[in-house]
Chain A
Amino acid sequence: QLQLQESGSGLVKPSQTLSLTCAVSGGSISGGGYSWNWIRQPPGKGLQWIGYIFHSGNTHYNPSLKSRVTISVDRSKNQFSLKLSSVTAADTAVYYCAREIGGSKFDYWGQGTLVTVSS
C-alpha cells in the first residue's frame, strides 16, 4: 500500500521560504507515469493545486504561484520536496502531497501538514 508523509517546518516567518518534504513508501517514486503533487488548503477554505514533478524531474506549476514555487525530487531517498518563497499570511494552509494517476485523479494523499506564516 502506497503511503505519503509530509514533513517540515510548521511555522515560517513572513518573507521567508517554506520548505516541505514528502516521503513515499510502499512504492517507488520512479515507477509508472505518475506525477507527484503538492496541494494546499487554507483553514476553512478549498483546495488549491500548487504543482507537480515527474520522476524525470519535469515540473509544472500553478501559474498563480509559479514565480515563488520550486518542486524537486530525490529518487535515492524516494521523496520529493516543495519550496515556496516570500511567504505571507495568505500562504498559511494545510499542505498535502499527493500522487496523480492522470486527469485530475489524485489517488494517494499524505495526511497533510499545517504550515502557519507568522512572525
Chain B
Amino acid sequence: QSALTQPASVSGSPGQSITISCTGTSSDVGSYNLVTWYQQHPGKAPKVIIYEVTKRPSGVSNRFSGSKSGNTASLTISGLQAEDEADYYCCSYAGSYTSVLFGGGTKLTVL
C-alpha cells in the first residue's frame, strides 16, 4: 500500500490557475469516489478543502475545485492568492484492509 503520488512542488503567480495531480491505483483512487484534499499551512493541522472528489465544505472558496479521471484525482486552484501558499495533500479510501492512503504532499508557492 504505497502512498499516492503527487508532484513535490508547483508554483504560480497571483491570479493564475494551477492543478495538482494525485495518482493512485485501481484499488484506491480508481475504485472509490472518496478522495479528499487537505490544505496545510506551516505549523497547523490539515484542513479539508475538497471531499468526495468534487465537493467543497461550506466556507471554502469556490476557487478550489476537484476532479477525477481513472486512477488520478486533481485539485485545481484558480485565481491564485498569496494565502493559498501551503502544502496540499490528497487522501483516498483504499478498501477495508488498507483503509486510508495519503499522497506525499505538494508544496504550492505563489510567486
Contacts and interface: CB of A to CB of B under 8 A. Distances in A.
A103 B105 contact: no
A109 B46 contact: yes
A64 interface: yes
Instruction: State which size class the interface on B falls in.
Output: 20 to 34
Nearest to A98: B45
25 contacts: A46-B89, A46-B104, A47-B46, A47-B102, A47-B105, A49-B99, A49-B100, A49-B102, A62-B99, A63-B98, A98-B45, A103-B36, A103-B52, A104-B35, A104-B36, A105-B36, A105-B51, A105-B52, A106-B38, A106-B91, A107-B48, A109-B45, A109-B46, A110-B45, A112-B45
A42 to B, nearest CB: 11
Given A46-B3, A104-B36, 7 more contacts: A46-B105, A48-B102, A103-B34, A104-B51, A105-B51, A106-B48, A106-B91
A60 B99 contact: yes
Q: Which 9 pairs of residues, A with B, have the shortest CB-CB distance?
A: A103-B34, A109-B45, A46-B105, A47-B102, A49-B100, A104-B91, A105-B51, A104-B36, A46-B104
Interface of A: 45-49, 52, 60, 62-64, 96, 98, 100, 103-107, 109-112
Contacts of B1: 63-64
B27 to A, nearest CB: 13
